[in-house]
C-alpha cells in the first residue's frame, strides 16, 4: 500500500512540477509562435479547443482520483489494515489542481481579443499531462486487476457486500454497532452527538460548487469571456433576425406585392441580374435598354413604378405580351429580379436604349 501511495504521490508531484515549468516556459515562447496555431489547423476556435482540452483533462483527473481511492479501499480490505488518513495525496491533488488552474489562468493572461489565446505550447502541455494521466490510469488499472484476481475473499466481498462498500465509501459512516467510538460526551436534554466524518460525496460536492463558482465568476466578470445580459440580448436579437431571414428564404410564398421589399445588397442584385440575363434579356435586352419589351432603365413606366408595382407586373404579366412569371419563378426570385431592374442605370436613346413608353413617374 505504501509503495503505491508513494508512487502515486511521486507521479503527481512530477506532473505538477512539469506543468508549472511548462507554464513558466510558455510565457517566453508565446510571442515566438508565428505559424498557424493548432486550434486553427483543427478547424476549431481557440476557446473551443481550450474547453475541450480542459474538460478532457479534468475527466482524466477524476478517473485517476476515483481509481486511486478505490485502489486504496481494495488494498485496505486486502490487508485488513486500520484506516489511515491520506492527507498527503489530498494535499498533492489540491496542489496539482491549483497549479493546473494557474496554468489555465496564465493562458488567459495572454488573451488577445475577447477569446482565450491558446498557444501551441499550452496545447502540448495539455497533451503531455493527459498522456501522463492515462499512464497513471493504466498503472492503477493493473493494480486493481491484480488485486482482485489474487484474492477470492475480496471477490466474495465485492459480490455480497458491494452495496455496503459503496454506501460506506459514500458516507464514511462508522457502523452503528461501533458508533460508541465516535460518540461525543455531549448531552443536551438527552440528545447526544456522534462525530461521523463529513460524507465524502457531500464534501467533494461542496468543493466542486465552490470551484464552479470561482470559475463562473472569473469567466463572466473577471476575464469577461462569457456573454453577459447585454451581449446575450444583442446576440438573441441578431439570431432572431437571421432566423427570420432564413425562414423567408425558405418560404418564398410569403413575399407578396403587399409586403415585398426592395433589395439593395450586392448578392441579391447579382442574383437578380443572372435571372434577368437568362429570362428577361431576350425581350428587354441586356442592361434593360429595351427591345421587344420596353426600356426598363428610364423613368417612364407603363405599369407600376415602385418595387411593389414591378413585382406585380413580373408575377402577373401584362396585356401587351409580358408573361405572368409567378408560375415559373418563386417569389423571392421575382423580388430579386425586380430589385435588379429598379436599380438599372439609365440607358438613353442616344446610348442605344429604346424610346420611353408610358408615363414619367
Partner 1 sequence: MQVEKFSYDNRIVRLFLIATITWGVIGMLVGLFASLELIWPELNITSWLSFGRVRPLHTNAVIFAFVGNGIFAGVYYSLQRLLKARMYSDLLSRINFWGWQLIIIAAVITLPMGYTAGKEYAELEWPIDIAITLMWVVWGINMFGTILKRRVKHMYVAIWFYIATFVTVAVLHLVNSVELPVTFMKSYSWYAGVQDALVQWWYGHNAVAFFLTTPYLGLMYYFVPKAANRPVYSYRLSIIHFWSLIFIYIWAGPHHLLYSSLPDWAQSLGIVFSIMLLFPSWGGMLNGLLTLRGVWDKVRDDAVLKFMVVAITCYGMATFEGPMLSLKNVNWITHFTDWTVAHVHVGGLGWNGMLTFGMAYYLVPKLWRTNLYSKALANAHFWIATLGIVLWVIPMYFAGFMQSLMWKKFTAAGSGLEYEFLDSVTFMKPYFMLRSLGGTLFIIGACVMVYNLWKTARMGSFLENEEAEAPALVNSKKGNKGEHWHSWIERRPMKFLVFALIAILIGGAIEIIPTFMISSNVPTISSVTPYTPLELEGRDIYVREGCYNCHSQWVRPFRDEEMRYGEYSKAGEFVYDHPFQWGSKRTGPDLHRSGKGNDMNKSEAWHYVHMLSPENKSAGSIMPAYVWLKDPLDISNTPDKINAMRTLGVPYPEGYEDQAVADLKKQAQEVYEAIVEQDPDIQTARPDMELIALIAYLERLGSDIHKQNPVDEVLEIGEGIELETADTSSVEMEDTTNIIE
Least distance CB 126 / partner 1 (angstroms) = 26
Do the Cβ atoms of 29 and 110 come closer than 8 Å? no
Least distance CB 194 / partner 1 (angstroms) = 5
Between 85 and 159, name the residue whose CB sits nearer to partner 1.
Answer: 85
Between 5 and 197, name the residue whose CB sits nearer to partner 1.
Answer: 197
Between 110 and 199, name the residue whose CB sits nearer to partner 1.
Answer: 199
Where is 134: in which H helix or E strand? helix 120-150
Do the Cβ atoms of 174 and 194 come closer than 8 Å? yes
Do the Cβ atoms of 356 and 298 come closer than 8 Å? yes
Least distance CB 222 / partner 1 (angstroms) = 8
Between 125 and 257, name the residue whose CB sits nearer to partner 1.
Answer: 257
Residues 209-213: contacts with CB within 8 Å, 24+ apart? none
Distance CA 36, CA 311 (A): 49
Distance CA 146, CA 148 (A): 6
> Strands (DSSP E) along 221-287, which ranges?
none
Collapse the DSSP code of 183 into the 3-class scheme (helix H, G, I; strand E, B; otherwise coil) and give the result.
Answer: strand
Least distance CB 358 / partner 1 (angstroms) = 35
Between 146 and 205, name the residue whose CB sits nearer to partner 1.
Answer: 205
Where is 273: in which H helix or E strand? helix 266-275
Least distance CB 69 / partner 1 (angstroms) = 19
Q: What is the contact surface with partner 1 in residues (CB under 8 A)?
A: 171, 173, 176, 179, 183-186, 188-199, 202, 205-206, 209-210, 212-214, 216-217, 220-222, 228-230, 232-233, 236-237, 240, 243-244, 247-248, 251, 254
Q: Give burial (CB, 10 Å; 0-12/13-18/19+) of 317.
A: middle
Cell of 178: 461501533
For the four alpha carbons of 112, 228, 126 and 41, in that order, the dihedral sign comes to negative
Between 88 and 226, name the residue whose CB sits nearer to partner 1.
Answer: 226
Least distance CB 180 / partner 1 (angstroms) = 10
Between 14 and 198, name the residue whose CB sits nearer to partner 1.
Answer: 198
Least distance CB 124 / partner 1 (angstroms) = 32
Amino acid at each position: 500500500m505504501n509503495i503505491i501511495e508513494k508512487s502515486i504521490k511521486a507521479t503527481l508531484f512530477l506532473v505538477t512540477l512539469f506543468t508549472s515549468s511548462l507554464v513558466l516556459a510558455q510565457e517566453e515562447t508565446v510571442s515566438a509562435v508565428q505559424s498557424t496555431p493548432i486550434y486553427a489547423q483543427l478547424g476549431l476556435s481557440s476557446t473551443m479547443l481550450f474547453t475541450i482540452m480542459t474538460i478532457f483533462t479534468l475527466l482524466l483527473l477524476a478517473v485517476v482520483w476515483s481509481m486511486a481511492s478505490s485502489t486504496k479501499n481494495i488494498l485496505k480490505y486486502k490487508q485488513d489494515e486500520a484506516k489511515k488518513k491520506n492527507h498527503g495525496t489530498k494535499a498533492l491533488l489540491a496542489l496539482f489542481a491549483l497549479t493546473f488552474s494557474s496554468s489555465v489562468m496564465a493562458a488567459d493572461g495572454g488573451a488577445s481579443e475577447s477569446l482565450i489565446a491558446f498557444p501551441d505550447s499550452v496545447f502540448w502541455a495539455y497533451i503531455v499531462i493527459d498522456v501522463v494521466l492515462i499512464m497513471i490510469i493504466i498503472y492503477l488499472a493493473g493494480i486493481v486487476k491484480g488485486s482482485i484476481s489474487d484474492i477470492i475473499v475480496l471477490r466474495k466481498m465485492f459480490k455480497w457486500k458491494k452495496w455496503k462498500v459503496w454506501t460506506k465509501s459514500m458516507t464514511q459512516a462508522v457502523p452503528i454497532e461501533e458508533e460508541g467510538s465516535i460518540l461525543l460526551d455531549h448531552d443536551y436534554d438527552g440528545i447526544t452527538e456522534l462525530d461521523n466524518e463529513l460524507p465524502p460525496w457531500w464534501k467533494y460536492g461542496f468543493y466542486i460548487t465552490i470551484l464552479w463558482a470561482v470559475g463562473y465568476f472569473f469567466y463572466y466578470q473577471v476575464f469577461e469571456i462569457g456573454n453577459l445580459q447585454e451581449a446575450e440580448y444583442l446576440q438573441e436579437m441578431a439570431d432572431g433576425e437571421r432566423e427570420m431571414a432564413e425562414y423567408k428564404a425558405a418560404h418564398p410564398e410569403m413575399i407578396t406585392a403587399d409586403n415585398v421589399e426592395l433589395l439593395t445588397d450586392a448578392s441579391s442584385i447579382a442574383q437578380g441580374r443572372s435571372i434577368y440575363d437568362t429570362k428577361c434579356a431576350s425581350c428587354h435586352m441586356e442592361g434593360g435598354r429595351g427591345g421587344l419589351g420596353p426600356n426598363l432603365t428610364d423613368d417612364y413606366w407603363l405599369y407600376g413604378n415602385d418595387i411593389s408595382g414591378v413585382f406585380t407586373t413580373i408575377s402577373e404579366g401584362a396585356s401587351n405580351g409580358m408573361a405572368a412569371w409567378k408560375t415559373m419563378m418563386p417569389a423571392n426570385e421575382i423580388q430579386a429580379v425586380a430589385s435588379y431592374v429598379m436599380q438599372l442605370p439609365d440607358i438613353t436613346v442616344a446610348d442605344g436604349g429604346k424610346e420611353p413608353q408610358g408615363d414619367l413617374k
